[in-house]
Structure 1
Amino acid sequence: MSAPNTLTATEIARQIDAGTLSAEAVLRAHLDRIDQRDADVLAWSHLARDAALEKAKALDRGPRKGLLHGVPMGVKDIIDSYDQPTGYGSPIYKTHQPLADAATVALARDAGAILLGKTVTTEFANRFPGPTRNPHNPAHTPGGSSSGSAAAVADYQVTLATGTQTGGSVIRPAAFCGIVGYKPTYGHFPTAGMKANTEWLDTIGAYARSLDDIALFRAALMAIPYRPIEAPLSPPRIAVCYTHHKAELSPEGRAAVESAAAALAKAGAKVTEIDLPAPVSDMTAGQKTLSAFDGPRAHADEARRFQDLLSKSLREDKLAAGAKIDHTAWTAARRLGEHGRAAVDALFDDIDVILTAPAPGEAPVGLGFTGHATFNLLWTYLWMPCVTLPFTRGPNGLPVGIQLVGRQHEDARLLDLAAWVQGALR
């Protein structure tokens, strides 16, 4: 019998419903795993051990609460929780206690999830890293900025977790840690109660170890009816897109996309390679303009009152760069995004899903750099839903994934197509 902390959320819910497993047993198994492993992984900024156990016992005494009844959840420490500290990855907020839950936290709890704790984030979900290590090899980064969430799910310390993505902060850590990561269409998950970074890009995302769990989690976080994933019966039309950064792929990153495309074609998919049309071909500068412009505005209070507590990278990179961008450049970047979304949406008249890389390759060595977001920035800017699947291993034995990108607002269909892809690759 599998240890409860290795079960998926879907399996936990099924077994609790059947009476063969209790929420308390699930929670204790996760705490045992944390005790065994987190000194090496360092995924948590706060662990609510006693409160989580009490919640599990209360759930065991009462009727079924919702889709996530008894499922332990981690929340990126950039997202507010009324009963647990929220530090935003900054010493400025080391004693900060919000008065309310963020919308996604409240919705998950309302569905029966147990908030096990807050997971490590980079400073304000930017570039300055926290202490978290890759659970596959502690000498390597887990990615960022949602480092703790990805590492905790990958290491079986928690079943589900939330992250946030402004550039590549959900998809890249999932790929580096070898789990399923999902960045929804912009705006699908409510961002109320999240510390803002870049208003027109910030997207809350989800981590799990199965696509079925992503579908379950998605329904809870959107407060919509749950629909199980249904892989299409007919092979889909898959467009391989390396983007204009193809030369930046490592050998293992390029090989993963190529071998996945070959396997999917063999399984019957219509696989073609596409180049993105103008103005989508190169939107990296526009994404960086939007992100930098919001820096001095999102962090105005911290920069005014606590500048000496901000990291050098935040002060000299994002805040300094943002101060030099005028409103005309920001407006142009907003318009470029609008034109790009229209252009790329038209592609989906002839394709079903885009296959691309989630990162240049496996996680780089060292903890001072969380990896390049090169293969994520574009899709975040275009507000498109993305899911990354673990696929193979790189030269250092670390996970290398693939990324699937869907049409804006067709997130359920993307998950269906991802299930077909996963089945074909197996």
Structure 2
Amino acid sequence: MDDPSRLDATTAAALIARRELSAEALLRACLARIAERDGELRAFVCLDVQGALAQARALDAGPLRGPLHGLPLGVKDIFDTRDLPTECGSPIFAGHRPRVDAAAVALCREAGAVVIGKTVTTELANMTAGATRNPFNPAHTPGGSSSGSAAAVADFMVPLSLGTQTAGSLIRPAACCGIAGFKPSFGRVPRAGVKPNADSMDTVGGFGRTVADAALLGAVLTGDKRLVQQPLPDTLRIGLVQGPDWGEAESDVQAAWARAVQALAPQAQRCEDAALPADFGDVAAVQAALQAHETAAALADEHRRHPDLLSPALLALLDKGRTIGAVEIEAHRTRTARWRFEVDALFDGFDVLLAPSAVDEAPEGLQHTGDPVFCRPWSLLGLPSVHLPFATGSTGLPVGLQLVGRHGEDHRLMAAAQWAMQRLA
């Protein structure tokens, strides 16, 4: 414990619970790491050093509050926080001070988490990148839109952080930064106090350095203790889903896929291709269209009153979303409902689906955050997913894959993910 910031969340929580590590000592180690590294990586928008220290001291002086007792937490800057500004990565919200916490933040505080600061988001949680850099190579993106949250966990600034996903904003930055990212089933975590993007897909989740850490945070967010209590399975039935856009996968992702199948198949009860709906090749386009339409509605006031403060890319997305008519949207929703039914039926024969998380290692450059194409299907269908960080690409940046579970069976997904990681590590 020379440097407590290096502890994963599960280990740190256990040490704090046994009073072998104080919340203040862990917090000070994380603050020292932030002071050392954040000037380069720029994961944080703002910090509340004195407030966090006061929280940690109060926790050390009192009884255990919950499973996150004393764990420093980064919060994506689209979550309302009562003691810190919420600026959503946009000048439109400069200096905005909410009066209450977002529900997810409140749940974490109630469980004993110490909110250390707000992490960088892309512009209004869309595609225009923020200032954050990849901890493995600062010339590369950390992914987005939960950019700062992923980078802060990966670089040992905090053990846990909150993020959101509408297309790929949890799983893709987890892949870029080599950590575990968890997107719960749609609707399992309250979204009150989180800046909306697309109402039928926005999902609150988070990051940890291990799958167990992500499960710990997920149990607090969903209120489902089974995420940390579910026994690991003896074996798994794994459906392989390269998906209709597998041709976009670069060689490093293809190599990770081959390695995973080789490692998991001999110990799985079943490991074979899962048959997707015949017209599933349109899934990414349908998700993108619905997201654009819903985002145009969610950001209607920003679009109308502050177009000069929006990036050209976001303006183009909002303009596109407004041109999609009601008949087309209804057709997309009808197909989505059918796909949900058809894909759900796959879980009668498989416990989980193995799928790619990202098309490649984190792209070079900070102007874009990567392609979410491999995450779009599961966001559209509202299925829980978790990134498995187990491989390294040809340039030394992280690569991994995701497991996808049945809606509402997040606890079984997380147990399956830990089973898989034991065999992939």
Same fold (TM over 0.5): yes
Task: Give the conservation status (yes or no) of the 8 Å contact 1:197–1:298.
Answer: yes
Q: Are the aligned partners of 1:78 and 1:121 in contact in 2 as well (CA < 8 Å)?
A: yes
Render the CA deviation track for 1:255-300: whole Å, top value 9, x for unaligned. Answer: 1111101111233442112341234343112111211112321111
Counting only pairs closer than 5 Å after superposition, residues 51-62 of structure 1 correspond to structure 2 as: 51-62=51-62
In structure 2, the partner of 1:354 is: 353
- Name the aligned partner's letter for residue 278 of structure 2: A
Does the 8 Å CA contact 2:230/2:411 hold for their aligned counterparts? no
Q: Is this contact kept in 1: 2:227–2:410, CA < 8 A? A: no
User: How many Å apart are 1:331 and its aligned residue?
Assistant: 1.4
- Is the partner of 1:283 in helix, strand or coil? helix
Change (3 A) 1:20 1:381: same
- CA deviation after TM superposition for structure 1 residue 215, in Å: 2.0
Query: C-alpha distance in 2, partners of 1:413/1:383?
Result: 16
Match of 1:311 in 2: 311
Change (3 A) 1:225 1:241: closer
Does residue 49 in structure 1 map to residue 49 in structure 2? yes
Whether the 8 Å CA contact 1:354–1:406 is kept in 2: the answer is yes
Residue in structure 1 matched with residue 375 of structure 2 by the alignment: 376
Flag the 1:319–1:227 CA change in 2: closer, same or farther, 3 A: closer
Matched ranges for 1:22-421 at <5 A: 22-225=22-225, 228-316=228-316, 318-421=317-420
Cα distance change on mapping 1:232 and 1:67 into 2, 3 Å: closer
Return the alpha-carbon distance in structure 1 between the equivalents of residues 296 and 214 of structure 2: 34
- Secondary structure of the 1:129 match is coil
Measure the CA separation in 2 of the matches of 1:386 and 1:377: 11
SS in structure 1 opposite 2:15? helix
Change (3 A) 1:153 1:97: same
Change (3 A) 1:83 1:33: same
CA distance, structure 1, for counterparts of residue 262 and residue 72 of structure 2: 38
Contact persistence 2:253–2:399 (CA under 8 A): yes
1:282 is paired with a residue whose SS is helix
Change (3 A) 1:265 1:322: same
Q: Give the whole-Å Cα distance in 2 for the aligned partners of 1:2 and 1:333.
A: 54
In the alignment, the residues of structure 1 paired with residue 345 and residue 231 of structure 2 have an alpha-carbon distance, to the nearest angstrom, of: 23
Letter in 1 for 2:13: A
- The runs of 5 or more residues in structure 1 that have no matched partner are none
AA at the equivalent of 1:375? F
Q: Give the 3 Å change call, closer, same or farther, for CA 224–345 of structure 1 in structure 2.
A: closer
SS in 2 for 1:127: coil
Tell me how far apart the structure 1 counterparts of residues 418 and 231 of structure 2 sit (CA, whole Å): 5
Which residue identity does 1:338 align to in structure 2? A
SS in 1 for 2:234: coil
How much does 1:19 deviate?
A: 1.7
Residues 14-25 of structure 1 aligned to structure 2 (within 5 Å): 14-25=14-25
Residues 122 and 145, structure 2, Cα contact 8 Å, conserved in 1: yes
After superposition, what is the alpha-carbon deviation per residue over 1:73-93, rounded to whole angstroms, capped at 9, x for unaligned?
001001111110000000111
| Aligned AA (1:30) | C
> Is the Cα–Cα contact under 8 Å of residues 102 and 192 in structure 2 kept in the other structure?
yes
When structure 1 is superposed on structure 2, of 113-122 and 302-311 the one drifting more is 302-311
- Give 3-state SS (helix, strand or coil) of 2:364's partner: coil
Q: Give 1:5 shift.
A: 0.9
The aligned amino acid for 1:24 is E
Distance change in 2, residues 1:293/1:10 (3 Å): same
CA distance in 2, matches of 1:111, 1:128: 33
Q: TM-score with structure 1 length normalisation?
A: 0.97
Asked if the contact 1:385/1:405 (under 8 Å) is kept, the reply is yes
**C-alpha distance in 2 between matches for 1:226 and 1:419:** 14
Report the secondary structure of 2:97's partner residue: coil
Range that drifts further, 364-373 or 219-228? 219-228
Could you list the per-position Cα deviations for residues 294-334 of structure 1 after superposition, in whole angstroms to 9, with x for gaps in the alignment?
23211111112111011111112x11101111111111111
Q: TM-score, normalised by structure 2?
A: 0.98
Contact 1:9/1:213 (<8 A) preserved: yes
2:378–2:385 Cα contact (<8 Å) kept: yes
Could you tell me how far apart the structure 1 residues matched to 2:216 and 2:394 are?
34
Q: Please state how far the C-alpha of 1:361 moved relative to its aligned partner.
A: 1.4
Could you tell me how far 1:212 is from its partner in structure 2?
A: 1.8
Aligned mates of 1:25, 1:402 — CA distance in 2: 34
Residues 1:44 and 1:6: Cα distance change in structure 2 (over 3 Å): same
Q: Is the 8 A contact 1:279 1:336 kept in 2?
A: no
CA distance in 2 between counterparts of 1:124 and 1:297 reads 13
Count of aligned residue pairs for this structure pair? 425
Aligned Cα RMSD in Å? 1.3
Identical pairs, percent = 48
The change in CA–CA distance for 1:274 and 1:219 in structure 2 (over 3 A counts) is: closer
